[in-house]
Amino acid sequence: MPAVSKGDGMRGLAVFISDIRNCKSKEAEIKRINKELANIRSKFKGDKALDGYSKKKYVCKLLFIFLLGHDIDFGHMEAVNLLSSNKYTEKQIGYLFISVLVNSNSELIRLINNAIKNDLSSRNPTFMCLALHCIANVGSREMAEAFASEIPRILVAGDTMDSVKQSAALCLLRLYKTSPDLVLMGEWTSRVVHLLNDQHMGVVTAAISLITCLSQKNPDEFKTCVSLAVSRLSRIVSSASTDLQDYTYYFVPAPWLSCKLLRLLQCYPPPEDGAVKGRLVECLETILNKAQEPPKSKKVQHSNAKNAILFEAISLIIHYDSEPNLLVRACNQLGQFLQHRETNLRYLALESMCTLASSEFSHEAVKTHIETVINALKTERDVSVRQRAADLLYAMCDRSNAKQIVAEMLSYLETADYSIREEMVLKVAILAEKYAVDYSWYVDTILNLIRIAGDYVSEEVWYRVIQIVINRDDVQGYAAKTVFEALQAPACHENMVKVGGYILGEFGNLIAGDPRSSPLVQFNLLHSKFHLCSVPTRALLLSAYIKFINLFPETKVTIQEVLRCDSQIRNSDVELQQRAVEYLKLSSIASTDVLATVLEEMPPFPERESSILAKLKKKKGPGAVSVTELEDSKREGGELNGGADRGPDTSALAASNASTPSPSADLLGIRSAAPINVAPVSAGSLLVDVFSEAGPAAPSAAVNDDGFLRFVCKNNGVLFENQLLQIGIKSEYRQNLGRMYLFYGNKTSVQFASFTTTVSYPGELQSHILSALKPPNLQMR
Amino acid sequence: MMRFLLLFSRQGKLRLQKWFTPISEREKKKIIRDMTSMVLARQPRSCNFLHWKDLKIIYKRYASLYFCLAVDNQENELLALEVIHRYVELLDKYFGNVCELDIIFNFEKAYFILDEFLIGGEIQETSKQVVNRCIESSDMLQETMEEYMSKPAF
């Protein structure tokens, strides 16, 4: 048993705790606890009214049992009774119990609220603090309803003691966070802001947390706090270490208060007032200067507090993003920390630099540290520090160092922690795509990625490489060759087989000339992996095989034999069986023209936001992807689209449409030429006026003759496309009946409002054509 | 703001748990399990910061106890480390050379000290003297050994 505890020690409690500790097994412990619970139950139900001391003791025991992990379902009433006692210790235990074991019994809540109300209106500051602490700990809606109006009054009243003011401020903050609608600041705003000038540092510390939270929700109402905060901060920063007495922490003046002031300033843009701004810049410079001075104490607490202020100041500088001088100094300071002895500082420096890297003023300065960061990536023992280094490399990547960074990240990936591999893979894929000047490098990188971390390469990544290879003519041959070589490795990841199967199926003809990669060799290579693959991959390979039959007629017999064998056409998986049977039939009965049409090369993919970027955003949360990144991805999307633009192959279609009468001039009249009205979207976004300015003539002018003359020969395709809208047409005809579908695709991320379409026919045709218009069917993609 | 503070021993036994936001009991148990396994698995020379879901975890070991504090993502990590240190200092001042046993047997006092120092997930008072004065006000009455031993033992 320990020595006598101070004050009103509860001996029975100490004995009980000793007993529990001495229990040799879990069962013994439970037995002892149950015995105690029975004892307490009987005492509570007993006839004799318990005295305050005993009640306190038993309630405390119940609390202990609860904190050990067992459920307690009684004792609340007794705890509430303790609240009305006059003895401080008994009240304390009562409040502690109800804060920890929150009960939703409304009767109890009423009683608790009553007790709190009494304590709040007593003039005793210790009791008031207890009550306020309880409200802050529980913070339930009922409490907010009961007390939200009273607490601000306590907070700003002149005769409230400082300690009570502190508790009141934070209590109000808690209530505001949980029930913002009940806490109406209106009339109290200026008085609360004025608390920043209070002479008691503790009050300022507490009040500032409240003000920061309120400012985030209502910045305009609280903007007077900025100048007050700046003057307070400069007073602290320039004070000697003896000025603030007990608020100096290991020779650092008021570190918590300084950091909070800096955080408050981060809620607002840089101050417009010249004098205020000047003072603030001076402050920040002083803080940066102090970091260079020799430390006043060897203790780690001193350096932690000093550096905490420094890092917060750097966050503020980054947030303002307007003082190039300060940004560069901040970057240099962080650069020094990158090689500091203490792991914590290296970690934080890497993290801060990530945000610095996205600012235009300091991006170059950050890049100068690339060697240090790469070194950190390779040599740090702590995995979290290595991860920050990887994040920083990703942030500082641009065209000049992309190749180096991607290479480093790939080599890191080989030994990286499994939990972070998927994210790394996505990042490498994004970087490779964004900064690829030479697309063969991109293809190499992705294939390497699959080789190194195949399991973590998600679908989006290899879809993307296929999309890019298909959209770019110049890299198709290289891709085919590289994939072919990669497949020859003895142990090949399944994703590699998928990519390889697809690419060889499309572009195998580009390397078929070389005898080492002749069609039959290619087929055998793919087929050797067939049995090792899962069902979706096999399905993909079967499609590749039928494409081979089209590309290389000499392989037809071999492949047909494979398709014909029982393991394919009687395969238990429906998809594989269907494919095998259909492909077999297709290859046997279709003429070469038809086969060529059906299996023609994939058209280029339309441009969308990179799904990889979307996946990374989803993984890391909305804050992680910087704005510049998003813009870049949109821009590069445009490039990709502008690259290869091949119209669909129309010649083959004529053959299949031989039976229908060739459309004459009449058909041209039926098309919908009316302007499409797009009403301005109320969200005030950018796409509003494109059509209305141009007037009705514009859309038809935009549909150039090339565009719709195509539809003389074919029924389906894109009739019109611009940045905002894509109109597709699909038509079918039988004898004298025709049906035409028009699809309007919204290419923006905002919804169209009041979108209407009209059809008009030039006069004479109106009598010839009976038309039935179906109303547009809104289908959101 | 701070989300929760946990104190546990090297064997994973929880000595103190303070939650600053309302969480269900099941969630709490799960978080406790996650925290203890994560922190106890860390290498000795690694940094004191971790990322867990959308929170930052700051932990420090004092003798046989691990102090584990979870804060929001925008909080300053070094300062959180000093919050832990300040709490340890307050305990030390109150108990005199505090050790784990003190916290086990006087758990309610540990909670009271915490309440004077942190409220609603924010720091309330950073002056050591002021906090100590508040805590010791309840100990105004000093009792003798005989008085203590005469109290019932159950």
Are B125 and A166 inside 8 Å of each other by CB? yes
Bridging pattern class, strands A252-253 and A677-679: unpaired
**Which residues 607-626 on chain A approach chain B with CB closer than 8 angstroms?**
621
Same domain membership, residue A454 and residue A597: yes
Kindly report, residue by residue over A482-495, the tens digit of the pLDDT. Answer: 888 888 888 888 88
Of B122, B136, B145, the CB nearest to A209: B122
- Count of pairs with CB atoms under 8 A, one residue in A, one in B: 185
Q: Residues of chain A with pLDDT > 70: what percent?
A: 83
In a domain? residue A468: yes
Q: Which residue of B has its CA nearest to A312?
A: B76
Q: Are A384 and B46 in contact (CB under 8 A)?
A: yes
What is the residue whose two structure tokens read 């023609």? A600
Range of the domain at B28: 2-150
Chain A positions touching B151 (Cβ under 8 A) are 9-12
Kindly report, residue by residue over A539-561, the tens digit of the pLDDT. Answer: 999 899 888 888 888 888 888 88
Q: Are B72 and B1 in contact (CB under 8 A)?
A: yes
Say yes or no: B41 contacts chain A, CB-CB below 8 A.
no
> A565, A580, A611 — which closes off a domain?
A611
Are A63 and B108 inside 8 Å of each other by CB? yes
Question: Does A435 score more than 70 pLDDT?
Answer: yes
In a domain? residue A754: yes
What φ, ψ does residue A749 adopt, rounded to 5°? -95, 5
> A542, A576, A611 — which closes off a domain?
A611
Q: Which residue of B has its CA nearest to A381?
A: B46
Same domain membership, residue A578 and residue A469: yes
Q: What is the mean pLDDT of chain A?
A: 80
pTM for this prediction: 0.72
Say yes or no: B133 contacts chain A, CB-CB below 8 A.
no
Q: What is the mean pLDDT of chain B?
A: 87
Kindly report, residue by residue over B23-82, the tens digit of the pLDDT. Answer: 888 899 999 999 999 999 888 888 899 888 889 999 999 988 999 999 998 889 999 999
**Which residues 181-220 on chain A approach chain B with CB closer than 8 angstroms?**
201-202, 205-206, 209
Helix (H), strand (E), coil (C) string for A194-217: HHHHCCCHHHHHHHHHHHHHHHHH
Chain B positions touching A202 (Cβ under 8 A) are 124-127, 130
In a domain? residue A204: no
Range of the domain at A726: 705-759
**SS3 assignment, position A193:** helix
Question: Does A650 score more than 80 pLDDT?
Answer: no
Cα separations in angstroms, A589 against A89, A136, A586, A592, A595 = 94, 80, 6, 9, 9
pLDDT of A686: 38
CA dihedral A35, A40, A45, A51 (to 10 degrees): 150
Say yes or no: B51 contacts chain A, CB-CB below 8 A.
yes
- Chain B nearest C-alpha distance from A411 (Å): 23
Q: How many C-beta neighbours within 10 Å does residue A162 have?
A: 17
**Helices and strands in chain A, H and E counts:** 41, 7
Alpha-helical segments (H) within A592-650: 592-598, 611-620, 627-643
Of B54, B107, B115, the CB nearest to A67: B107
Give me the CATH number covering residue B65. Answer: 3.30.450.60
Question: Does A364 score more than 50 pLDDT?
Answer: yes
Question: Does A231 score more than 60 pLDDT?
Answer: yes
Rg (CA), chain A: 37
Give me the CATH number covering residue A724. Answer: 2.60.40.1230
More confident site: A7 or A191 = A191
Are A11 and B81 inside 8 Å of each other by CB? no
CA atoms within 13 A on the CB side of A518: 6
Of B115, B125, B145, the CB nearest to A202: B125
- Residue A37: pLDDT band (50, 70, 90) is very high
Question: Which residue spans within A167-314 are E strands per DSSP?
Answer: 248-249, 252-253
pLDDT of A138: 87
In a domain? residue A570: yes
Q: How many C-beta neighbours within 10 Å does residue A472 have?
A: 19
Q: What number is the average pLDDT over the span A643-660? A: 33
Same domain membership, residue A739 and residue A601: no
Q: Which residue of B has its CA nearest to A178?
A: B21
Q: Which of B119, B123, B136, B149 best probes binding to A when mutated, by most A CB atoms within 10 angstroms?
A: B119
Of B107, B138, B148, the CB nearest to A11: B148
pLDDT of A416: 82
In a domain? residue A426: no
In a domain? residue A145: no
Are A254 and B126 inside 8 Å of each other by CB? yes
Looking at this predicted complex, what is its ipTM? 0.88
Handedness of CA A429, A434, A435, A441 (dihedral sign): positive
Structure tokens at A234: 């400069």
More confident site: B5 or A713 = B5
Are B126 and A247 inside 8 Å of each other by CB? yes
Say yes or no: A66 contacts chain B, CB-CB below 8 A.
no
- Chain A nearest C-alpha distance from B127 (Å): 5
In a domain? residue A572: yes
Question: In chain B, how many domains are there?
Answer: 1
For chain A, the farthest-separated pair of C-alpha atoms sits apart, in whole angstroms, at: 109
Question: In chain A, how many domains are there?
Answer: 2
Say yes or no: A102 contacts chain B, CB-CB below 8 A.
yes
pLDDT of A259: 92
Same domain membership, residue A714 and residue A605: no
> A611, A633, A659 — which closes off a domain?
A611
Q: Are A119 and A84 in contact (CB under 8 A)?
A: no
Q: What number is the average pLDDT over the span A126-151? A: 88
More confident site: A251 or A646 = A251
Question: Does B148 score more than 60 pLDDT?
Answer: yes
More confident site: B87 or A720 = B87
How far apart are alpha carbons A442 and A696 in whole angstroms?
45
Chain A positions touching B123 (Cβ under 8 A) are 205-206, 209, 256
Chain B positions touching A347 (Cβ under 8 A) are 47, 49
Question: Which residue spans within A467-538 are E strands per DSSP?
Answer: none
What is the residue whose two structure tokens read 């497949």? A487
Question: Does B18 score more than 90 pLDDT?
Answer: yes
Q: What number is the average pLDDT over the span A590-598? A: 83
